[in-house]
């Protein structure tokens, strides 16, 4: 059984930084995908960033490009999301995701078939 556990959320002022961590355990042999999503109150869950095990490229939503960086530590089975220059509109619950099936790059921000962590809250004040 796949389990994802996020940590690192919190409250910061605009312009600040946070680093989210997600430890992945269990068998994800069906997919090399790791993603970060977020969901603000009253809004749909949206893809923020994604990365694939063993590949160099990462993928980002336009709203976070240049501010957020997704990375992997394969030895620790952990995926990170470094968030810099945070804005109030980044306030949301952030979820780590793996996939139960292979997920082509063009679907990196599609939440279907994802396995989710419990989420970690990020609050950015102005």
- pLDDT tier for residue 94 given thresholds of 50, 70 and 90: very high
β 46-52/58-60 pair status: antiparallel
pLDDT at 98: 94
Q: Are strands 33-39 and 92-99 parallel, antiparallel or unpaired?
A: antiparallel
Q: How confident is the model at residue 17 (pLDDT cuts 50, 70, 90)?
A: very high
Query: What's the CA gap between 53 and 71, in Å, rounded?
Result: 10
């Amino acid at each position: 059984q796949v389990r994802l556990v996020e940590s690192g959320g919190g409250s910061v002022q605009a312009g600040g930084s946070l680093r989210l961590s997600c430890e992945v355990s269990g068998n994800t042999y069906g997919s090399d995908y790791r993603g970060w999503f977020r969901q603000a109150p009253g809004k749909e869950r949206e893809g923020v960033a994604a990365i694939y095990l063993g590949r160099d490229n990462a993928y980002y939503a336009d709203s976070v490009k240049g501010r957020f960086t997704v990375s992997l530590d394969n030895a620790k089975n952990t995926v990170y999301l470094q968030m810099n220059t945070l804005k109030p509109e980044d306030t949301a619950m952030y979820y780590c995701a793996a996939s139960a099936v292979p997920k082509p790059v063009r679907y990196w921000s599609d939440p279907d078939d994802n396995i989710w962590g419990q989420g970690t809250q990020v609050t950015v004040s102005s």
